Amino acid sequence: MTGEANPVVVAGVHLADLPTERDDLWDFADAWINAHGAAMDTWDREHAWATIVSAINPDWVVGLTERRRLQNRDARDRILATLAHHRAQRAAQNTWPAPLPTHPHPGQQIRLMFEGELSEPFTVTAHQGRTEEHLVLRGPCGLFEHYFDPYNTYPA
């Protein structure tokens, strides 16, 4: 690089053109190598990639294995942070109704808990299930049988 205000990092790339976020910079360097590295040998491609990345932060010049490990760790951390945020929001809202304490009766509207979400309302029918603990419910797709679980059955 020279002493100019917007120095050239590699052919056709000025310092001001480079992203400042780590993953964006890595993607930029990869794209530049893919577009311009066909005539280079492996060492020249690696050197050009390192030159692009180190222009923003020399600590970000890492091998591919370490790069993938860091990206996977960051993605996992973002997912866990999002889940914690949603759980905290739900706890703060405290909008969950109390589960049904008794077996629902025909005609009653209920909701079922599926994967942490309350379903759309279903109507309990008078039809006989396989056992007394099975409910026959009417929903948008017709009749279906569901085991009555007082911890996952809520009033509509």
User: Contact, 2 vs 8, CB < 8 A?
Assistant: yes
Q: What is the pLDDT of residues 47-104, one digit of tens each?
A: 999 999 999 999 999 988 899 899 889 888 888 888 877 777 776 666 666 777 788 8
Chain centroid to Cα 52, Å, comes to 29
Pairing relationship of beta strands 122-124 and 134-139 according to DSSP bridges: antiparallel
- Return the closest-CA partner of residue 138 out of 156, 126, 123: 123
> How far from 114 is each of 63, 100, 119, 149, CA to CA, in Å?
43, 15, 7, 12
Whether 132 has a pLDDT exceeding 80, the answer reads no
Q: 137: which strand partners?
A: 124, 144
Helix (H, G, I), strand (E, B) or coil at 38: coil
pLDDT at 11: 84
pLDDT band at 27, cuts 50/70/90?
A: very high
Q: Which residue has the tokens 């222009």?
A: 55
Sequence-ordered alpha helix ranges (H) in the chain: 22-36, 42-54, 64-93
Place of tokens 């279903």: 122
The mean pLDDT value of the chain amounts to 85
